[in-house]
Amino acid sequence: MHVASPSANAYAMNAITQSLRVLGQAAGALALAVAFFSTAKAATSDWATSEGGRMRLVALAPNVDGHVRAALQIEPGPGWITYWREPGESGIPPQLTIEPGSKATIEKIGYPVPKLITLGTIREVGYDAPVSLPLDIQTNGDSKLDATAFIGVCKDICIPFQAKFTVSLAPSGSPEAADAAIVDAARAALPEAASNDFSVRNFALSGDSKTLSLQLTLPDDGDAIPQIYLTGPSGTVFSRQVSAQRHGRNADITVAIGKLPKSYTIHGKSWGILAVDGGRAMETTLAFP
């Protein structure tokens, strides 16, 4: 079974509708009320909290080029989860937006290695433990950062969790050691790039577009089958393996491709792949001719 998600906005509406039906109009409105928090504390915001967890924004001082390294810290509550950039059959991928009128821009959001999570009969991709998303931000002269984070947290119901943060971007001689450690740890948790000892040697989509075969070079000898996440058109992730063989550092894996958008053509497209083998993970792009 393939794993596919609707757009974040569409899912948020579906989640709200579902939860209101479960909890009742009044209780649902309270449970799903979007929480806004606005606070500044040097380069680290206070924690914003909701029923499903908490989050905050950590930003280091800009370098001479105005570049800021930062991290969005997310801590789901016990039994709650939050989502990867492609969340699965349902879910809300994390979003971070700069307030209108700001000159700052978000250049990149990184995603540490997720895991497959089963909620009832639904397969999702995300995090059931604290996670920090590393951020690359260009200040373009702004002295503070006003940003809004929007994530989904799920347990028995899914709750959209939104918070507004304001942090100082004033230059300083050196960052706070604790803030720097948070940002460095977030970056260290990212998948590595493809290399000679961990890569996709070859790949091919079947003629009926129902499976994708992969030949991988893995970093160590072993017999465990690596976990594969294929991200195709926006809103889709495919992870179900229909066949897999491993011989030492070589693996041949076929992943089921579920329903693609109507009239979708693979030619000239690029898909993402994340391969997790033991304690290492590699992320790269599959460019289709």
Of 190, 206, 225, which marks where a domain is finished? 190
Which residue range is the domain that position 213 belongs to? 193-287
144 and 276 share one domain: no
182 and 229 share one domain: no
pTM for the full predicted model: 0.82
167 and 205 share one domain: no
Q: What is the pLDDT of residues 239-286, one digit of tens each?
A: 999 999 999 999 999 999 988 888 888 899 999 999 999 999 999 999
166 and 222 share one domain: no
181 and 201 share one domain: no
If one counts the domains in the chain, the total is: 2
Q: Could you read off the pLDDT tens digit of each residue along the chain, which spans 289 residues?
A: 333 443 444 444 444 334 433 333 333 333 333 444 333 334 789 999 999 999 999 999 898 899 999 999 999 999 999 999 999 877 889 999 999 989 999 999 999 999 999 877 788 999 999 999 999 999 988 888 999 999 999 998 889 999 999 998 876 655 678 899 999 999 999 999 999 999 999 999 998 899 999 999 999 998 999 999 999 988 899 999 999 999 999 999 999 998 888 888 889 999 999 999 999 999 999 999 8
Angle among Cα 271, 276, 279 to the nearest 5 degrees reads: 150
186 and 198 share one domain: no
| CATH code of the domain covering residue 155 | 2.60.40.1250
Would you state the pLDDT for residue 23? 35
128 and 181 share one domain: yes
| CATH code of the domain covering residue 254 | 2.60.40.10
Of 153, 175, 190, which marks where a domain is finished? 190
Four-CA torsion 229, 231, 236, 241, nearest 10 degrees:
-30
Long-range contacts from 65-68, C-beta under 8 angstroms, 24+ separation: 66/138, 66/139, 66/140, 66/141, 67/136, 67/137, 67/138, 67/139, 68/104, 68/135, 68/136, 68/137, 68/138, 68/139, 68/145, 68/169
223 and 146 share one domain: no
84 and 147 share one domain: yes
